[in-house]
């Protein structure tokens, strides 16, 4: 184990430090008796022995045209480890748990301008929920349309189709709820 990295693993031709949380999740997912429907997660309240205190995450976004003011706006769309475990391919996107963590990490990383675009807004379809807003007019950038844009960019370019807004150390205990929520994330090729 490496304090700021995770688990040291041999890849095809080199050694790499991989995220311990992602590694554990990948092993669970690949086990033959794993059934997500039976999963009742009890997330640790203290850092498990031999795990790093922090892992490095990339806060990812995309720039799109606001439907209301027609200006370009940056939306927060996901979190991905800087050094994921082998086989980990899940981009955790804009659900409320992930958005709240992105907001916290952006504030800590000095990107208050982007953190302030995340707040509770009202949608006639979804009701009140934590969401992205336009940096110019604060209009709700709806999850459905945003997810469509994310999926289009991922299918065309993989993770390179999204903008790396910030690379920041995140406490492992803050990352657990994102990785282990039932939604999982979007499968991507790094």
pLDDT at 129 > cutoff 60: yes
pLDDT at 158: 87
Given a cut of 50, whether residue 86 has pLDDT beyond it is: yes
Res 2: pLDDT: 42
Of 109, 52, 148, nearest in space to 101 by CA? 109
pLDDT at 3: 44
Residue range 158-184, pLDDT digits in tens: 899 999 999 999 988 888 888 877 555
Angle at which helix 20-30 crosses helix 172-179, to 10 degrees, equals: 30
Distance of CA 152 to the CA centre of its chain: 17
What lies within 8 Å, CB to CB, of 38 at 6+ separation is none
Supply the mean pLDDT for the chain.
80
Q: Report CA 87 to chain centroid distance, whole Å.
A: 16
pTM, to two decimals: 0.75
């Amino acid at each position: 184990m490496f304090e700021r990295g995770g688990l040291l693993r041999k890849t095809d031709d080199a050694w790499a430090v991989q995220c311990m949380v992602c590694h554990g999740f990948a092993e669970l997912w690949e086990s033959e008796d794993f059934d997500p429907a039976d999963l009742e997660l009890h997330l640790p309240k203290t850092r498990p022995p031999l795990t790093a205190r922090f892992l490095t995450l990339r806060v990812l976004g995309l720039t799109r045209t606001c439907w209301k003011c027609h200006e370009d706006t940056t939306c927060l769309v996901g979190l991905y480890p800087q050094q994921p475990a082998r086989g980990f391919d899940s981009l955790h996107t804009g659900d409320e748990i992930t958005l709240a963590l992105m907001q916290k990490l952006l504030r800590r990383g000095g990107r208050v301008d982007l953190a302030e675009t995340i707040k509770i807004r009202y949608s006639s379809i979804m009701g009140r929920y934590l969401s992205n807003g336009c940096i110019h007019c604060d209009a709700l950038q709806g999850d459905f349309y945003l997810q469509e844009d994310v999926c289009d960019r991922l299918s065309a370019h993989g993770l390179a189709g999204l903008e790396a807004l910030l690379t920041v150390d995140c406490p492992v205990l803050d990352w657990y709820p994102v990785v282990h929520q039932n939604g999982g994330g979007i499968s991507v090729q790094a």
